[in-house]
Amino acid sequence: MPLLASDVSPTNQVTDQLKQLSFEELMAVKVGTVYGASKHEQQITEAPSDVTIVTADEIQKSGYRTLAEIINSVRGFYTTSDGAYNYIGTRGIYLPGNYGGEILVMIDGHRMNDAIFDQADSGTSFMVDVDLIDRVEVIRGPGSSLYGNNAFFAVINVITRRGRDINGVEASGAYASYDTYTGRLSYGNRFKNGLEIAMSGTYLDSGGNNDLYFPEFSSINQGHAKQNGTSRAPGAFISISYEDLSFEAGFIQHKKIVSNGAYGTVFNDSRDVLLDERAFADLKMQHHFDNDWDLTTRIYYDHYRYNGDYPQSQYVYGNPLYPGLITMNSDRDDQESLGGEVQISKTLFQKHRVTVGAEYRHDFSLQQQNYDQGGTSYLNSNPTADTFGAYVQDEYAILHNLMLNAGVRYDWFSSFGDTLNPRVALIYSPCTNATLKAIYGQAFRAPNAFELYYVAPRYVSSEHLIPLL
């Protein structure tokens, strides 16, 4: 029988379930698997990390509607919101102003953190609708030995449903408070010739919350910001696979009014608008050779665009003349990137599974602009960047119940230089229902383009930043 367990250490409920099973039923219990811990499918008891799996069944039964809600249910994790975006924190640690760059978020192994802000939103602007999620892998601890940048505190890998899981047409819709409408139309199938396809389109429209009270602005519209949170978000996702080839692509555009006076903007001004656009395409080839070699190659494209319009007041709030003359300040940012990865793995001497890989990415546009509409230009920067990473990992089965996992990755960034990050894990299973893990790892977060180059009123650039280790 399947056992839906979220963690390596069973909860009390799961323990009670196990006590009621016969020996034959215990032998049939399925242990959850994880891909992101070692870049291949393995049981969570063998992974060199503390792993939580949130399954599609758990998501459906709990009624989660965003990735942020799923993450909030995971031990040791939480999300915060500034009214515009959701940010993921863990173990009480979240540095304000860094956009959550210490946690790497992926969709089917594809990096979703953009190269300008290091941001991967987990709210309504996340690319994949929760109904398309097969499971969410939350892999705690440093993961830079495999993934490099951003895998500092954790790696979150969202695994999507395949065509066979949908098996036809699905449609869903919802209506919620603040005149919020959502809709999804999906199609999936696996054909007799082996071709498998899954595609989905989503749309969100929300009128926003006019009743949220801000006592510090009680003299303006009685402290209520009109249209605050009004948003629209069309999105699409597709995956196609045939034999050794697979292709995935996604798109989401999220536009939101944030009239709550955040970051010194004019309160109750509906011209305070943010727009985020994220797209990617990933073509992968995976082949298993007869002599027990596994080869994975992929090429990918990433796009991110951010537009922000901010009404700036002439006088500070509290001045009788507030806001005075209003100046519209704007950000226009764009990332365009191409990359590729090659990974080879082989079992040696029946006890070693060795994985070797290399990855290269070229950011051919990291454009950032900041200017006053019809006035001063403060920033017009469009640098390029190159990153290269090479990694090796050995999973050594010392005994049938004792495994040593050791790996290291070298990363080079054209913006600051290089860094080396190891990870070692000793995994011991003294009995069927217990696993002990001793793990050491090192990770880093590289300074992003926003931190290095951004200039605006009250902001200066910091081009000599070094990685956070």
| Domain annotation for the chain: domains and CATH numbers | 31-453 (2.40.170.20)
The model's pTM is 0.90
Question: CB of 302 within 8 A of CB of 283?
Answer: no
What span, in angstroms and rounded, lies between the C-alpha atoms of 198 and 184? 13
Q: Is the pLDDT of residue 171 over 50?
A: yes
Question: CB of 332 within 8 A of CB of 324?
Answer: no
Question: CB of 382 within 8 A of CB of 466?
Answer: no
Angle at 242 between CA 237 and CA 244, to 5 degrees: 110
Classify the phi-psi angles of 157: left when phi > 0, otherwise alpha if psi is within -120 to 50, otherwise beta: beta
Residue among 84, 87, 58, 85 nearest 73 (CA):
58
Mean pLDDT of 458-466: 75
The DSSP secondary-structure symbol of 132 reads G
What span, in angstroms and rounded, lies between the C-alpha atoms of 191 and 242? 10
Condensed to tens digits (0 to 9), the pLDDT of residues 77-116 reads 999 888 888 899 898 777 666 777 899 999 999 999 999 9
What span, in angstroms and rounded, lies between the C-alpha atoms of 216 and 213? 9
The DSSP secondary-structure symbol of 85 reads -
What span, in angstroms and rounded, lies between the C-alpha atoms of 261 and 254? 20
Condensed to tens digits (0 to 9), the pLDDT of residues 227-281 reads 999 999 999 999 999 999 999 999 999 999 999 998 889 999 999 999 999 999 9
The set of residues, in sequence order, having a beta carbon less than 8 Å from that of 50 and lying 6+ positions away, is 7, 8, 139, 140, 141, 437, 439
Residue 380's pLDDT is what?
94
Mean pLDDT of 203-229: 91
Condensed to tens digits (0 to 9), the pLDDT of residues 423-454 reads 999 999 998 888 999 999 999 999 999 988 88
Residue 194's pLDDT is what?
94
Structure tokens at 351: 């006890």
Condensed to tens digits (0 to 9), the pLDDT of residues 28-67 reads 445 589 999 999 999 999 999 999 999 999 999 999 999 9
Banded pLDDT at 18 (limits 50, 70, 90)? very low
What span, in angstroms and rounded, lies between the C-alpha atoms of 423 and 29? 30
The DSSP secondary-structure symbol of 458 reads T
Mean pLDDT of 377-392: 96
Mean pLDDT of 350-373: 96
Residue 366's pLDDT is what?
96
Which segments within 191-292 are labelled E, that is strand? Answer: 196-206, 231-242, 245-257, 273-288
Residue 28's pLDDT is what?
47
Q: Is the pLDDT of residue 216 over 60?
A: yes
Question: CB of 339 within 8 A of CB of 309?
Answer: no
The full DSSP string for 307-318 is EEEEEE-SS-BT
Which residue bears the tokens 């700036």? 312
Residue 341's pLDDT is what?
98
Q: Is the Cα dihedral 424, 428, 434, 436 positive or negative? A: negative
Task: Provide the 3-class DSSP secondary structure of residue 223.
Answer: helix
What span, in angstroms and rounded, lies between the C-alpha atoms of 150 and 156? 11
